[in-house]
Amino acid sequence: MTHVAELVIRNGTIVDGLGGRTYVGDVAVRDGLIVEVGTVSGDAEHVIDAAGLLVTPGFVDLHTHYDGQSIWSDRLNPSSSHGVTTALMGNCGVGFAPCRIADHEVLVDVMAGVEDIPGVVMTDGLPWTWETFPQFMDAVDARRRDIDVAAFLPHSPLRVYVMGQRGVDREPATPADLARMRVLAQEAAEAGALGFSSSRLVTHRTRTGSQIPSYDAAYDEILEIGRGIADGGGGLIQFVPDLPDGAYQPVLQQIFDAATDAGLPVTFTLLIGNAGEPVWQDALTMVEKANDSGAEITAQVFPRPIGLMVGLDLSINPFVLYPSYREIAGLPLAERVAEMRKPDVRQRILADQPSIVPTNPIAYLSQSWEWTYPLGDDADYEPDPSESIAARARARGVSAVEEAYDRLLDDDGHAILLDALANFRDNSLDTVGDLLRRDDVVLGLGDGGAHYGMICDSSFPTYVLTHWARDRASGRFSVAAAVRELTSVPARVAGLDDRGRIAVGYKADLNVIDHQNLRLHKPVITYDLPAGGRRLDQTADGYVATIVAGEIIAENGKPTAARPGRLVRGRRPAPA
């Protein structure tokens, strides 16, 4: 080497991110880039002895909602606690820009309902120093943080910005509206948006219960926004479909056609039903047909059950719809637990029936007893069917409601139940594993920065490396294959080809991991959001070092003072 390296990782088991064979070697870093791989001689300012450890590229999460957290915080945890070094935000067509002052409350209402971010957190944490999307990007760019972020232009704010109350009311866009959306989409792409996002999921509702502005937007609207992104240099369409009449086809075909007409790739959320007709197979048939015709479409799949975490101190629990429970729901947790342990209170609540009408139908899903499981310290996301609330109730000879009641009182009311509402076909992740092996499927849906009191899914990279690449009894992935799915594959889908590989010239985003001792902890509740807001956090053992642009942002699970994370503006080519 002609210059002293800033960092050398020595004697690690290098996992290149492309799925190739692992090998023992060194990695040298200078000026934020990988400058040498193999046997590195010479001096270095800092050396990490990685003997017996994995050295991987930093992980890329395609689906997060750090739009707010990237403004009010310099750490994007939990994601950065699980090896993620690049996070794409602005998914699901929701976000905070563009937005006029008069519409702040509209977007807060949307984000509170769709993404379970308390309104007071946004009111306290957001300075609203922007109106346009480029101004929002500048605000993100001005903040230093631990990891990189990139952003989609979200559909709902764009619609409200152009159409005002007509957009909120989901009226059809006029030709003038469409022309304006196209111009603003071009402007967003030129400012660095990686594309645009939209949603038609029926459970994506505002805090007050209305469908979000993008819910039933017409084909022409999707097309003109896509054309605007193409005018600005191109990008990716991210989409969350609904399941009208149990079928994907009508909604997805509209998006696929618009993307093809605009010349853009698509990634969309794919859910696997726990039972019933396997309608996801129809979606994959559509993907195959479209890709055979020259499209670029990937289905985005989560590697463990999609669902809810429910508990007495979380956003939802099975009794929030019961009037008798609502009488004590406002009490501090310890007092509420004491009340619920009283025999007369227990009897009254268990004898009650759900009658509170929720603003979001997702609240009803917290009583899916066959798919609900206590989440213990080992954070088992593929539990045995015998552990479900329904099965445990049958074994005890009690009702499922009684079993759920008693389990929620465990750990002095801090117990968490996992509602595995999708991706758990026949009480197994076998189908998920089969899908993840497909070339037209990509890992995603960490949802970091959202659903603060309902899920904690941004820990999924650790789950992939432990459950899928080490512990599962059957259907395991090799470490090389698992790392590929966490790195180069999502980087390619996002258009960020300068990362996700360990090779000379690539961005020095890296993880040093003690794979044998990697362990995912149970989620815990913290109160570190603006205004003391509550959220679920989840940590892990085994991350010896996480490195962003050559700087160590965490050592042995503890964050350092380094804040090298930047806003990624636009797609990035691979090094020459």
pLDDT for the residue 408 = 96
Stated pTM of the model = 0.94
Helices (H) and strands (E) in the chain, counts: 19, 25
How many other β-carbons are positioned within 10 Å of the β-carbon of residue 516?
Answer: 11
Q: Name the CA dihedral angle for 408, 410, 411, 413, rounded to a multiple of 10 degrees.
A: 30
The pLDDT confidence band at residue 2, using thresholds 50, 70 and 90, is very low
Q: How far apart are CA 526 and CA 544, in angstroms?
A: 24
The answer on pLDDT for 1 being more than 80 is: no
Which of these ranges, 86-100, 241-255, 407-421, 443-457, has the smallest mean pLDDT? 241-255
Q: How far apart are CA 547 and CA 512, in angstroms?
A: 8
Q: How far apart are CA 267 and CA 256, in angstroms?
A: 10
Closest CA to 525 of 512, 536, 515, 538: 536
pLDDT for the residue 206 = 65
How far apart, in Å, are the Cα atoms of 539 and each of 82, 510, 518, 534? Answer: 7, 18, 11, 16
Closest CA to 312 of 390, 207, 448, 417: 417
Helical packing angle, 400-408 and 389-396, nearest 10°: 110
pLDDT for the residue 116 = 67
pLDDT digits (tens, 9 = 90+) for 131-185: 999 999 999 999 999 999 999 999 999 999 999 999 888 999 999 999 999 999 9
The answer on pLDDT for 438 being more than 70 is: yes
What is the average pLDDT across 491-510? 98
Q: How far apart are CA 263 and CA 16, in angstroms?
A: 31
Q: Name the percent of the chain lying above pLDDT 70.
A: 95
What type of residue sits at position 536? Answer: L
Residue with tokens 């059950």: 305
The answer on pLDDT for 365 being more than 80 is: no
Greatest distance between any 2 Cα atoms in the chain = 78
Q: How far apart are CA 417 and CA 40, in angstroms?
A: 49
The answer on pLDDT for 359 being more than 60 is: no
pLDDT for the residue 451 = 73
Q: How far apart are CA 90 and CA 448, in angstroms?
A: 11
pLDDT digits (tens, 9 = 90+) for 225-240: 999 999 999 999 999 9
- Kindly state the tokens that stand for 442: 């990509």
Any bridge partners for residue 452, and if so which? none
Closest CA to 447 of 523, 509, 385, 391: 523
Strands 84-89 and 148-151, sheet pairing: parallel
Residue with tokens 């960020």: 496
CA 331 remoteness from chain centre: 31
pLDDT for the residue 179 = 98
What is the average pLDDT across 465-487? 97
Residues 63 and 457: beta-carbon distance below 8 Å:
no
> Which H helix or E strand runs over 421?
strand 417-422
Q: How far apart are CA 58 and CA 546, in angstroms?
A: 8
The pLDDT confidence band at residue 315, using thresholds 50, 70 and 90, is confident
Any bridge partners for residue 512, and if so which? 55, 545
pLDDT digits (tens, 9 = 90+) for 537-548: 999 999 999 999
Selected residue with higher pLDDT from 477 and 251: 477
pLDDT digits (tens, 9 = 90+) for 281-314: 989 999 999 999 999 999 999 999 998 899 999 8
> Which H helix or E strand runs over 148?
strand 148-151
- Kindly state the tokens that stand for 265: 């790739």
> Which H helix or E strand runs over 548?
strand 543-548
pLDDT digits (tens, 9 = 90+) for 73-124: 999 999 999 999 999 999 999 999 999 999 888 888 777 766 667 677 788 8
Q: Which residues neighbour 487 within 8 Å (Cβ) at sequence distance 6 or greater?
A: 17, 56, 57, 58, 59, 60, 499, 500, 501
pLDDT for the residue 224 = 97
pLDDT for the residue 481 = 98
Q: How far apart are CA 293 and CA 149, in angstroms?
A: 32
